[in-house]
């Protein structure tokens, strides 16, 4: 059986990290596509030359031609510009919308059967636009944000409680922006929900609130430290987790920016929700119950996403 083919559209900081991880995990053969000349070829060769020492079998190719992504099983999209200090994800909208148009057309023509994971920001609006431009079924186009935001939340919680992050589960919903909704009630340490841990005196509500805010600001914290770009190790790792769920039909329960046809009080919108990912892509959106406060936070986040989608339609009137 031929190896799966993984196409990485955008070979910058996240794209390069994705290629290295996919090779090390032997997920398949890898194509790095970018408009920049030489850079994807250079990264492909550099990673291939790490193969003999690491002992992985994977072919790597760098390219500027969409024809090379032909028949890809998975496309992970990072093409576009990242944030600089002081910029919000939403500031990227105009530039990255144009990029999504060319990427969507490239995927439509050469890899229409792929499972597409978008990482480009502002995430929820870009994944919606990418689905529109590519015309792929909505269950095959999703965005990576919830896995990353939840991983950041889990990391901060594991530090606070002094326990292994393996025993911390966490749930972040809504748009991938300042209004994202880390849900304390559905987040646990060893199965014990966070509000119970506050009652038990393991932490205080103030500390928990500070962790929730740090999670919301998690991307900006890294941008502020790096100064020349945004996070790439954790975003790449999160997208690989989603790609593996698809390639290995794992039926993982993962939060991601998925098309919600009719659930969580929403109809017809891409936003961060809990999903099941398996061989059919996003196989299910989990229609969880929220209390009044959670619903209010989620609604606010949904409104922010709707605002971005509206702005996209104003920029490009071919978008329905
Ligand atoms: N087609 C293909 N590649 C493109 C295009 C295009 N139309 N326009 C830009 N690119 C490439 C750039 O040449 C660059 O190599 O996209 C790559 C982006 O890489 P980086 O600038 O290193 O950005 P990165 O940190 O990887 O983040 C990419 O993910 O998290 C989001 O906000 C982030 O939107 C940003 C994206």
13 close to ligand 1 (CB < 6 Angstrom) = yes
Question: What does the pLDDT read at residue 285?
Answer: 97
Question: Of the residues 7, 12, 143, which should be mutated to test ligand 1's pocket, given the most ligand atoms within 8 Å of the CB?
Answer: 12
pLDDT mean by block of 10 residues, the chain; 320 residues:
96 98 98 98 98 97 98 97 80 92 98 98 96 98 97 97 97 89 94 97 96 95 92 98 98 97 94 97 96 93 94 90
Joined tokens for residue 30: 């890898």
Question: What does the pLDDT read at residue 190?
Answer: 97
235 CB neighbour count, 10 Å cutoff: 25
177 close to ligand 1 (CB < 6 Angstrom) = no
The enclosing H or E element of 33 equals: strand 29-33
How remote is the CA of residue 184 from the centroid of ligand 1, in Å? Answer: 33
142 close to ligand 1 (CB < 6 Angstrom) = no
Residue nearest to atom 19 of ligand 1 (CA): 12
Question: What does the pLDDT read at residue 86?
Answer: 81
List pLDDT tens digits, range 121-139.
999 999 999 999 999 999 9
Question: What does the pLDDT read at residue 83?
Answer: 78
20 is catalytic: no
Question: Angle between the 146-161 and 233-247 helix axes, to the nearest 10 degrees?
Answer: 120
Q: Which backbone phi and psi does 123 adopt, to 5 degrees?
A: -55, -55
Question: What does the pLDDT read at residue 14?
Answer: 97
Question: What does the pLDDT read at residue 122?
Answer: 93
121 close to ligand 1 (CB < 6 Angstrom) = yes
Q: From CA 62, how far away is CA 134, in angstroms rounded?
A: 22
The HSE-up count of residue 277 (CA atoms within 13 Å, CB side) is: 30
Question: What does the pLDDT read at residue 113?
Answer: 98
How remote is the CA of residue 167 from the centroid of ligand 1, in Å? Answer: 34
Please give the annotated binding residues, written as ranges: 10-15, 34, 83, 89, 96, 119-121, 152
- Could you say which DSSP state residue 61 is in? E
ipTM of the complex: 0.99
Question: Of the residues 82, 125, 144, 257, which should be mutated to test ligand 1's pocket, given the most ligand atoms within 8 Å of the CB?
Answer: 82
Question: What does the pLDDT read at residue 1?
Answer: 87
Nearest of 217, 125, 243 to residue 175 by alpha carbon: 125
Question: What does the pLDDT read at residue 248?
Answer: 98
Nearest of 244, 318, 308, 216 to residue 271 by alpha carbon: 308
């Amino acid at each position: 059986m031929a190896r799966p083919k993984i196409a990485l559209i955008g070979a910058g900081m996240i794209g390069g990290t994705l290629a290295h991880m996919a090779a090390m995990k032997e997920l398949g053969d890898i194509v790095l596509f970018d408009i920049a000349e030489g850079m994807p070829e250079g990264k492909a060769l550099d990673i291939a030359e790490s193969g003999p020492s690491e002992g992985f079998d994977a072919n790597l190719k760098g390219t500027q031609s969409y024809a090379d992504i032909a028949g890809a099983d998975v496309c992970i999209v990072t093409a576009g510009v990242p944030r600089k200090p002081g910029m919000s994800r939403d500031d990227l909208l105009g530039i990255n919308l144009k990029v999504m148009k060319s990427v969507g057309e490239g995927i439509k023509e050469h890899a229409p059967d792929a499972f597409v994971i978008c990482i480009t920001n502002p995430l929820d609006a870009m994944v919606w636009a990418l689905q529109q431009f590519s015309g792929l079924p909505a269950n095959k186009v999703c965005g990576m944000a919830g896995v990353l935001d939840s991983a950041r939340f889990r990391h901060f919680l594991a530090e606070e409680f002094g326990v292994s992050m393996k025993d911390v589960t966490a749930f972040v919903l809504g748009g991938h922006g300042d209004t994202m909704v880390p849900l304390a009630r559905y987040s646990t340490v060893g199965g014990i929900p966070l509000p119970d841990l506050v009652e038990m005196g393991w932490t205080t509500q103030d500390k928990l609130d500070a962790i929730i805010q740090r999670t919301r600001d998690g991307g900006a914290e890294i941008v502020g430290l790096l100064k020349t770009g945004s996070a790439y190790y954790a975003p790449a790792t999160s997208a690989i987790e989603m790609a593996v769920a698809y390639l290995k039909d794992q039926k993982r329960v993962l939060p991601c920016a998925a098309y919600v046809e009719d659930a969580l009080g929403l109809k017809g919108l891409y936003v961060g929700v809990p999903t099941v990912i398996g061989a059919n892509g996003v196989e299910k959106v989990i229609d969880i119950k929220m209390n009044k406060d959670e619903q209010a936070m989620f609604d606010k986040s949904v409104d922010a996403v709707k605002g971005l989608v509206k702005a996209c339609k104003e920029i490009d009137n071919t978008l329905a």
